[in-house]
Chain A
Amino acid sequence: MSAPVGVVAATGSGRVVPAVLLILLAALPAVANAADLSFATLLMTRVMIYAIAALSLDLILGYGAMVSFGHAAFVGIGAYAIGIASAHDLWEGAITFPLAMLAAGLFALVTGAISLRTRGVYFIMITLAFGQMAYFTASSLSEYGGDDGLTMWAQTEFLGAEPFGDRTTFYYLVLACLAGCFVFLRALVASRFGRVIAGVRENRLRMQAVGFNPYLYQLAAYVIAGMIAGLAGALLANHAEFVSPSYMSWQRSGDLIIMVVLGGMGTLHGAVLGAIAYLMLEEGLSHFTEHWRVIFGPLLILIVLYARGGLGSLLRRGGSDG
């Protein structure tokens, strides 16, 4: 599985695209409110939550060539941590959010330790297996709604304040999380740790020969990705005020992979672009026709055939042409 991805952090588009994205996203609520479309704020909040999950996947998929097909499980575990805490009347985010991330990270640690014995498509399938186990476990939690899911009757508080109650505040909080994760991951992939991860992808034996233990580095990356996905899950639970096993279904894991590949893997901002494009196309096309998938499907094929390296590379090429 040779991934034709370079580290673009140093190139021009590596800075320009994220900066433009950040400005656009930051301006959105003001524009939306002015146009009496505060729904757009709500919609973009959800998109950004998925972007956080996609970002975390890009760390292991894009940089480490670890294609996790069970990534939605981390999101779901994060969401369930919040949901189950709320069912026991625990609303304090300073406790529940770290709990959500820890729970997802722990699951990543255990499943990663086993999964990382395998490579390539075998890794894809073993992560799927763990994702499905999480899914079926959540579906059988009948005291927490089982398959129907669990309605949260309020949102997480932070030290007594209710930041998620206000739509715009919620939006900026998610944006801050997204930007924070982005900066953190950007720093991570540029660090020695990140270079080892990328090095293992290119040539495992050489990294071993130089004295690194590839397994431990990959496992650490896997756990970090799991924790960030858990954060996305915690936000998602508050956004929907509802948690459901369907957050963990394999289709959702597939959606996340599609987002990363669509946007261009191994660039981080590609994952964000991919999440935005995927969810906005779905939203836009489904308004246009009930049968939007007959348009969306061929569109994906065309993107693969004619935009190698995803949407991010399309932007890059467009930029260098102009």
Chain B
Amino acid sequence: MRKVLTAALVAAGMGVGGAAVAAEPLKIGLMGTLSGPPAVLGQHINDGFKLFVEQQGGKLGGRDVEIIVADDELKPDVALTKVKGLLERDKVDFVAGIVFSNILQAVFRPVTESETFLIGANAGTSTFAGKGCSPYFFSTSWQNDQIHEVMGKYAQDKGFKSAFLLTPNYQAGKDSVAGFKRHFKGEVVDEVYTKLGNLDFSAELAKIAAAKPEVVFTFMPGGMGVNLVKQFKQAGLDKNVTFLSAFTVDETTLPATKDDAVGLFSSSQWTPDLDNPANKAFVSAYEAKYGYVPSLYSSQGYDAAQLIDSAVKAVKGDLSDKKAVIAALRKADFASVRGDFKYNTNHFPIQDYYLVKAVKRADGKYATSVVEKVFDDYGDIYAAECSMK
């Protein structure tokens, strides 16, 4: 019944459009976590997204854009209510953003079942890459496992024999361990799961020192990562142990970790110094406007706006033929700031992944920089489970 109701609502919204479609603004619900400690991630995505819209003179695909920002507060039921507000009250054409997997879990069904396009600019849960995939969902980031796989692959290729794994005790942390182990065949000396939001890692660092691994692999997003990196350095562990990380050392945490993070490794599909014209223009415009160095999250937000722009342009602003819009989105016909970018059958990107490290730039700011390419045109393993072809 609800499906019928929302479908009818959407149809009614479309019906009003028709001929007058170009005059109505394109409505985009930009949903992300904007409160609490992880707010910075949502901020970066939104800044990236808004930058591209602004560069287009407030238009995407030739249509005026109205952006409605929603804060999910990192609470799934709040996210659900707000996304339903976006869909039904604001009648948005696209929902974009979504920082965390648990929020994506909560909003995925209502958005895709109402046949609204969902552009995920960060979270890439395995369910929605595999069995639960939907034609209405497109990611401009990655499938969660892939970033961790990069590190496992690198550790394996470099011939490291022993690894110590350290992640928060929640689903994404466990996924990250699984992702790392997929390619790493050496010995895992210990797996330690810390409380989410853990502040002090001294206990864990002492364990690392005692276990004497060749590498430590960690996934500690946000403030946890800041604390870990600073304390890792302060304990002097960086002299003997190679620090591999995912979502821990990036431009959201570097302003706080600064020199403590320089030289530490991370993995990414993008860095500010990635050498392509689209990226150069993006990074310089971004830094000029916001006064800080963009992160991979910013780039994902920027590409999400580019993706919408390309599709709306391809259908000449008329979103009533959903199949045509999906086909246009699937082409990903835009110059991604990460270079190579095309869509897999499950609407997740096939792209390159790099080993990156933190550097201090000539202007005194801190950024990540490419060390070497680890995967070339890499798709995720869940695509095979997705029934879309």
Contact = CB atoms under 8 A, between A and B. Distances in A.
A pairs with B: yes
A43 interface: yes
Nearest to B34: A290
B360 interface: no
Interface string B60-85: 00000000010100111100110011
Contacts of A165: 1-2
A246 B102 CA distance: 10
B337 to A, nearest CB: 26
Interface stretch (B50-58, B168-176, B347-355): B168-176
Interface string B68-109: 010100111100110011001100000000000110011011
Given A37-B89, A38-B5, A148 B77 contact: no
B105 A149 contact: yes
B81 A42 contact: yes
Contact of A148 (B34, B69, B84, B105): B105
B2 A148 contact: no
Contacts of A148: 101-102, 105, 125, 170-172
A181 to B, nearest CB: 20
Interface string A125-142: 000000000000001101
Nearest to B107: A242
Contacts of A40: 89
Interface string A226-242: 00000000001001111
B171 A142 contact: yes
Chain A binding surface, main DSSP class:
helix
A236 B74 CA distance: 17
Interface residues of B, number: 31
A286 B105 CA distance: 23
Nearest to A293: B35
B76 A242 contact: yes
B106 A149 contact: yes
B132 to A, nearest CB: 9
A246 B76 contact: yes
A166 B2 contact: yes
Residue with the highest number of chain B CB atoms closer than 10 Å, among A148, A151, A240 = A148
A92 interface: no
B76 A149 contact: yes
Chain A interface category by residue count: 20 to 34
B196 interface: yes
Contacts of B74: 246
A149 B105 CA distance: 8
Given A139-B170, A293-B35, A39 B75 contact: no
A201 B125 CA distance: 50
Nearest to B174: A142
A242 B171 contact: no
A146 to B, nearest CB: 5
A72 to B, nearest CB: 12
A42 B105 contact: no
A244 B77 contact: yes
A43 B81 contact: yes
B1 A166 contact: yes
Interface string A20-58: 000000000000000001111011001000000000000
A107 interface: no
Contacts of B69: 290
What's the dominant secondary structure at chain B's contact region? helix
A317 to B, nearest CB: 32
Among A147, A166, A241, find the residue whose CB has the most chain B CB atoms closer than 10 A: A147
A272 B40 CA distance: 35
Given A46-B81, A165-B1, A246 B105 contact: no
Nearest to B69: A290
B169 A140 contact: yes
A247 interface: yes
A39 B172 CA distance: 32
A37 B125 CA distance: 32
A225 B70 CA distance: 34
A145 B105 CA distance: 10
Contacts of B76: 149, 240, 242, 244, 246
Contacts of B196: 139, 147
B104 to A, nearest CB: 9
A37 B91 CA distance: 11
Interface string B160-178: 0000000001111010000
B170 A146 contact: yes
Contacts of B172: 147-148
Contacts of B106: 149, 151, 240, 242, 244
A39 B109 CA distance: 17
B182 to A, nearest CB: 18
A167 interface: yes
Contacts of A140: 169
A155 to B, nearest CB: 9
A38 B88 contact: yes
A151 B79 CA distance: 14
A286 B73 CA distance: 11
A242 B170 contact: no
B174 A39 contact: no
B63 to A, nearest CB: 23
B17 to A, nearest CB: 16
Interface in B174-202: 174, 196
Please indicate which of the listed interface residues A142, A146, A162 has the most CB atoms of chain B within 10 Å of its own CB. Answer: A146
Contacts of A239: 77
Contacts of A236: 77
B102 A42 contact: no
A122 B74 CA distance: 30
Contacts of A242: 76-77, 80, 105-106
Contact of B84 (A42, A247, A286): A42
B102 A244 contact: yes
A240 B77 contact: yes
Interface in A80-99: none
Q: 9 tightest A-B contacts by CB?
A: A147-B170, A39-B88, A148-B171, A39-B89, A240-B77, A148-B102, A166-B1, A146-B171, A165-B1
Given A148-B125, A151-B109, A242-B80, 8 more contacts: A40-B89, A46-B81, A139-B170, A149-B106, A240-B77, A242-B106, A244-B75, A290-B34
5 contacts: A148-B125, A148-B172, A151-B105, A167-B1, A239-B77
